[in-house]
Structure 1
Amino acid sequence: MRFPTLRRPPLGNARNFAFWIVLGLLVLALFQLVGGGQSTANSSEVSYSQFVDAIEGNEVANARVDGERVTYRGTDGRDYTTIMPRDAEVTDLLLASDIPFEAKSQETSGFQALLFNLLPILLLIGVWIFFMQRMQGGGKGGAMGFGKSKAKLLTEKHGRVTFDDVAGIDEAKEELEEIVEFLRNPQKFSRLGGKIPKGALLVGPPGTGKTLLARAIAGEAGVPFFTISGSDFVEMFVGVGASRVRDMFADAKKNAPCIVFIDEIDAVGRARGSGYGGGNDEREQTLNQLLVEMDGFEANEGVIIVAATNRRDVLDPALLRPGRFDRQVTVPNPDIKGREKILGVHARKTPLGPDVDLRIIARGTPGFSGADLANLVNESALMAARVGRRFVTMEDFESAKDKVMMGAERRSMVMTAEQKEMTAYHEAGHAIVGISLPKCDPVYKATIIPRGGALGMVMSLPEMDRLNMFKDECHQRLAMTMAGKAAEIFKYGEDAVSNGPAGDIQQASQLARAMVLRWGMSDKVGNIDYAEAAEGYSGNTAGFSVSANTKELIEEEVRGFIQRGYDKAAEIIREKSEEFERLAQGLLEYETLTGEEIKRVMRGEPPHLSNDEDDKDDGSAPSVTAVPKAKRRKPSSGDEGGLPEPT
């Protein structure tokens, strides 16, 4: 059984008590000062001669003499006040007229005199206590409170998060269930000599739910949860970060068992001694203190450190060793099953239409993180609300997905007929080459409606989550990427090519360089990783250099890969010139075509139109199939960007 620990009352409470005592005395003094004048607040001022006339006219019922001030009540029931001259004999007049009166002593009481004498001293003491409280113990935001920890304590009252609110990362949850079980029942492990890991490092891309997973651990275990960012430790003053680390662990020990979550730990945990001219002394001192607190002479029983980062490669090796972060949990982007579960979690409060299938949405969103999926559900709800629907339909999800993946439609710009035609032929080239090459991802949608920074776009989505990239796939993807420029040259000639393929050339260059420099897909360059040496092109050498001949060889291979892709795309467009022409005219007519509709248009068939196309008022969304331009809203425009970055 665990007994409560008797603790000494903190010094800050004593200072608060003294401060309120001094404040009360000051209020009492002010009350005494103004209390004497409250009795005359409701009386009327009259002259002394009027007072004498009232006595002689028997118009005074009673009086009170208080120094030079005389207050009397008239026979009319009203109170009057006058100031008598220094040589006036008011008492004789009152006695002669047989008027009852009372006199008040002009000397102040001993308490009042003492209070008036001590008032300046009490005021100075109160000001001193106030500033000392602010500087030392009155709060972590005071003038001297910059050495205090900025960790925030979260409890169940602030919104409990459990593992039910985290989906798509089942393996990560399983690794952390041991920590939860230890916090619930530590005797289960200690009686067998087992020790729970002191720290767990969550590693993964941004938006995968690392912070949410840490909160779920605290919610499941029902223990206090301290959260702080790595950048909160580092200040311009040397030693402040180390002081905050000590203070944070001191607070955590008082609330043990508990969890301390450090988000973006790479801000303070970078490898020491790296970079030009040495590291930052303040950051290194903070890291040293963190290392000592996590695994030093004093044991932190019941305090578990959970940290998150998406840059594990820059962390100091001493921080990652067993005894500090014993367990490193990878939190990757979810697969198709995980995406379906995440969509189900975020769609709990969203009314869904009968046509919504979350599995289809999950299949069409490869590479999406948990944050991306949450944004997708929110965007679909906003789109449904914008048109006044009572529930979210599949069309809202499709529109939201297009907006997230391709950008919002830009319908404020107007393209000329020549610009729109060149865009249609450019995108038709991408689509026809992507459909003709078997290793390319299936074409999902082609549009000449400007979205984001592109005048048109062809999106292709993989049928399954992609784990590997193969050499033949890369060559075919290069061909699809360069198909836009090949289409423009095939249609308009060498001299009429535009700057539209600029984005395609950039993406093709990135892919070809990765094939040559990192993936060893060039027989001439060989199986050597030149990626670090290639950084020397931008001025950041990584410790070794390559010869001029090797650089020239690398550039020749990159140029050759891109050129072969371009030649392949041009060959396909020439062989399928009729399908290419029909697809370009179809895009001019319908502006947006889905994958199956593209194949129909290429065969010379009209795209499939929905039977209930004109049924606009049944609360459901229009079909995602193509609608002729005459029945669409006014088309918009944008900048040609070519094929987007593959997922």
Structure 2
Amino acid sequence: MEDNQRETAGKSSDKQPPRRNQFWPILLVTLLGFLVLRSLWPAMSYEDVDYGFFLRQLEGQNIQTLEVNGATAIGTFKVPPEKPAEYNAEGERIVPKEDSGEPAKMGRKFFVQLPEGANDRIDLAAEEQPNLNLRYSNANPMQYLTLFLLFGVPIILLIVVWMMFRRTRDQIMGGGGFLSSFSRSTAKRYEPSDKQTTFADVAGLEGVKADLQEIVDFLKAPEKFQRLGGRIPKGVLLNGPPGTGKTLLARAVAGEAGVPFYSVNGSEFIQMFVGVGASRVRDLFQTAKEHAPAIIFVDEIDAVGRQRGAGLGGGHDEREQTLNQILSEMDGFSGVESVIVVAATNRPDVLDPALLRPGRFDRHVTVGRPTFKGRQEIFKVHTRDVPLDNDVDLNRLAAVTIGLTGADIRNLVNESALWAARNNRTRVFMADFDYARDKVLMGAKREEVLGQDEKKKTAYHEAGHTLAAWFLSGAQRVHKVTIIPRGRSLGSTQIIPSEDRVSSSEKDLQDQLVVLLAGRAAETIIYDVTTVGAENDLERATGMARRMITHWGMSPKLGPVSYKTSEEDPFLGREMHQTRQFSEHTQELIDNEVARILHEASDRAIELLREKTSQLELITQELLEREELSEVEIESLIGQSVHGPAGHFEGAKEPVPLVPAPADDEAVAEQAVSEEASVETSGENPVA
């Protein structure tokens, strides 16, 4: 959609108001100031002469007019005299000359500073020269300057400010000024193009696409639904985890509908001035109604649609006024029949109930994480432009990426392509996908090197996790274990489910607790001490055990009762006026039951690892030697797990053993032969 032509939602016409000349006030003020200065200092256009030169010209009867004003005088010569001579540093006399070589002449007008007593000599000269026009003036130029500064400058500033205010008001009312963006919507209008997104570009999510397809069909042929009295939903709310494709679905609706599609982010309504957001909402819906039928897409609507008056300190005036305007526009006194609002959020729990009711957002569509089939389709979409090798099995990739969203899969494909290009390969191999998946799920490798003692403790810790997950049926299967520092961990055991599951039994949860505590149990068995490396394991195990008691009723003492507290409320301060629904004694029983479940899981982990001591030592030694073991290698060491043969996932083909990808296409055949030989003889993964 980057190539789509966009229009601002507030522009209903291409005509722009005529622009006025913005420079004439400045020119007027500049001209006025120049005239004032010219009148205040007339000597600026006069020749400045010294008093001695002035007396020589006066006594020589070469002065025609003379006006004396205090200590200064201005006048005119009868005949322009030659400029007085100047002297250089050596005392030599220099006569100024023109280009023609003639002595330089002065102007007719002159200005002179008079010393004390000069008026008497001027009067004597005037008595001897009847043709001299002499007059005295008492006007002081500084008086005019003072009056100008006191009255003229403020009047000019008021005129300029008034003109600017008038121009700004006209721009806000007519549009086109720099302040007009405050009241106009910033929504973008998407027009059809050759590269637009459609439902064919959205893999999986068939149920979601069916709901949205109905919206598109109504906009194209409304009489089909109105014939039986049906009314199309006014709003569709897309909710789900981040990265599941909510915004992509909205862009696909824009590509399929063929009607004006306006896109805006919820945070764009919120400004520092109260009422601006409501004005933008009015402008957006007004523009959409003018081009109806139309679709309005509001991304991250939780930024503006949060519950009103929730949390500590009340509400936010600007957000609440904006929300009230949205509620009124969607289903107010004057309803909008042919404008459909599509919104997306990953926090539906914080939205205002009035926004979610029928008549506004009639349909709530959950965009969940993709299933196995959906992940297959997503891999096919994102690898369309990626040259893949023959060993790449998209079914296997879909099977080992349970829980990943569409954005995660896109990132995984991109990382694998970047890694292949970094190694100067012309195709992407399965080994590149495995490298990218490890980087996405476990983090990038760290440069630090563990000491031998820390490395050994980490190996025992990860071996404990591996054995517990290997032999407990309720746990999830092990895919890979490593003691290479990645991300924020010194080592990690990559455990993934063998199938998509939406529910778990109490036995499964108890086995998963054993897996979480098995790393600490291995350290206890070998060293009789515990380390800080089990911090994350204990945190996750405690959270799971507490949810088993308070949320899922898995305690014989407490029974099938929910003891959820208000700690998970999304609004700060709301729990201050909410009372706990159980007593202190019940809280003590909850703590005791959580501790009991965790102690039982820890005892089971220790008992299991004591029975599997030889396997524990074997996996630890192999980890110390290789630093990383795959599921196939673990199976060759300790036998098949309770989850079935290594690499067998629901819907996946027989996995291809991982080998280093060849550097170029010419080595493919030779590499295939060496690959088959290495697997048959050693059964080990050369990559590890």
Query: TM-score band, normalised by the shorter chain?
Result: 0.7 to 0.9
Instruction: For residues 325-364 of structure 1, give each alpha carbon's deviation from its aligned partner in whole angstroms, at most 9, with x where no partner exists.
Output: 1111111111000011111111111111111111111110
Partner deviation per Cα, 1:17-44 (whole Å, 9 max, x = no partner): 3537999xx9xxxxxxxxxxxxxxxxxx
Identity, % of aligned positions: 47
Query: In structure 2, what is the equivalent of residue 385 of structure 1?
Result: 421
2:483, 2:491 within 8 Å by CA — same for their partners in 1?
A: yes
Counterpart in the other structure of 1:19: 20
Q: After superposition, give the CA deviation of every residue in 1:142-167 in whole Å (9 maximum; x if it has no partner).
A: 23531221211122249411001111
Partner of 2:374: 338
2:465 to 404, 407, 430: 430
Please say if residues 333 and 367 of structure 1, whose CA atoms lie closer than 8 Å, have aligned partners that are also in contact.
yes
Are 1:445 and 2:446 counterparts?
A: no
CA shift, 1:521, in A, is 0.8
Partner in structure 1 of residue 556 of structure 2? 523
Assess if the C-alpha contact under 8 Å between 2:636 and 2:683 holds in 1. no
Residue equivalent to 1:593: 629
Instruction: List runs of 5+ in structure 1 lacking aligned partners.
Output: 1-8, 27-83, 88-122, 634-647
Which residue is 2:340 aligned to? 304
AA aligned to 2:511 is Q
Distance in 2 separating the partners of 1:240 and 1:510? 44
C-alpha distance in structure 2 between counterparts of 1:296 and 1:181, whole Å: 25
Q: CA deviation at 1:298?
A: 2.1
- The answer (yes or no) to whether the contact 2:235–2:363 under 8 Å persists in 1 is yes
Q: Which runs of 5+ in 2 are unaligned?
A: 1-10, 28-104, 109-159, 641-645, 648-655
Give 1:458's aligned residue. 493
1:438: how far off? 1.3
In structure 1, the partner of 2:53 is none
1:105-148 Cα distance to aligned partner (Å, 9 max, x none): xxxxxxxxxxxxxxxxxx999978864565444447x2353122
Secondary structure (helix, strand or coil) at the match of 1:466 reads coil
Match of 1:486 among 521, 524, 527: 521
Change (3 A) 1:630 1:273: closer
Is the counterpart of residue 505 in structure 1 residue 538 in structure 2?
Answer: yes
* CA positional deviation for 1:311: 1.8
- Structure 2 residue matching 1:297: 3-state secondary structure: coil
Counterpart amino acid of residue 511 in structure 1? M
Q: How does 1:132-281 map to 2 (within 5 A)?
A: 132=169, 134-139=171-176, 142-157=178-193, 159-281=195-317
Question: Partners of 1:165 and 1:631 in 2: how far apart?
Answer: 38
Counterpart CA distance in 2 for 1:270 and 1:361 is 39
Question: What is the DSSP-based 3-state SS (H/G/I as helix, E as strand, rest coil) of the residue aligned with 1:413?
Answer: coil
Q: How does the TM-score come out when normalised to structure 1?
A: 0.75
> What is the CA RMSD across the aligned residues, in angstroms?
3.9
The alignment partner of 1:252 has SS state of helix
Query: Following the alignment from structure 1 to structure 2, what is the Cα–Cα distance between the partners of residues 233 and 124?
Result: 30
Pairwise mapping of residues 58-97 of structure 1 onto structure 2 (< 5 A)?
none
How has the CA–CA distance of structure 1 residues 470 and 489 changed in structure 2, closer, same or farther, with 3 Å as cutoff? same
Residue identity matched to 1:471 = E
Q: Which has the larger radius of gyration?
A: 2
- Superposed CA deviations along residues 503-543 of structure 1, whole A, max 9, x for unmatched, are 1111111111111111111111222222225669x984644
| Superposed CA offset, 1:290-311 (max 9, x none) | 1111112323232110011122
Residue in 2 that maps onto 1:558: 594
**1: CA distance between counterparts of 2:326 and 2:685?**
67
Letter of the structure 2 residue corresponding to residue 484 of structure 1: G
SS in 1 for 2:533: coil
> 1:67-98 CA distances to partner (integer Å, 9 max, x unpaired)?
xxxxxxxxxxxxxxxxx9999xxxxxxxxxxx
> 2: distance between equivalents of 1:385 and 1:12?
47
What is the match of residue 54 of structure 2?
A: none
Q: Is contact 1:515–1:522 with CA below 8 Å preserved after alignment?
A: yes
How far off is 1:442 after superposition? Answer: 1.0
Question: Which residue of structure 2 aligns with residue 117 of structure 1?
Answer: none
Amino acid corresponding to residue 291 of structure 1 in structure 2: L
Quick one: distance in 2 between partners of 1:221 and 1:138?
30
Partners of 2:457 and 2:324 lie apart in 1 by 61
Moved more, 125-134 or 539-548: 125-134
CA distance in 2: counterparts of 1:502 and 1:284, whole angstroms = 42
1:514 is matched with which residue? Answer: 547
1:371 counterpart (383, 404, 407): 407
2:504 aligned to which of 464, 469, 473: 469
User: Structure 1 331/610 Cα, relative in aligned 2: closer, same or farther at 3 Å?
Assistant: closer
CA distance in 2, matches of 1:630, 1:594: 7
Query: 1:424-449: per-residue Cα shift (whole Å, max 9, x none)?
Result: 11111111111111111111111111
The structural deviation recorded for 1:615 is 6.7
Contact 1:533 1:545 in 2 (8 A): no
Distance change (3 Å), C-alpha of 1:615 and 1:214? closer
Q: Which moved more, 1:281-290 or 1:165-174?
A: 281-290
For residues 396 and 441 of structure 1, the distance between their equivalents in structure 2, rounded to whole angstroms, comes to 24
Q: Please name the residue that 1:37 is paired with.
A: none
Partner of 2:211: helix, strand, or coil? helix
Per-residue Cα deviation, 1:476-517 (whole angstroms, up to 9, x for no partner): 111111000110111111xx4221111111111111111111
Instruction: Name the residue aligned to 2:435.
Output: 399
| Corresponding residue for residue 330 of structure 2 | 294
Counterpart Cα distance in 2 of 1:287 and 1:614: 56
- Distance in 1 (CA, whole Å) between partners of 2:547 and 2:278 is 42
Q: How far off is 1:546 after superposition?
A: 3.1
CA distance in 1, matches of 2:592, 2:173: 67
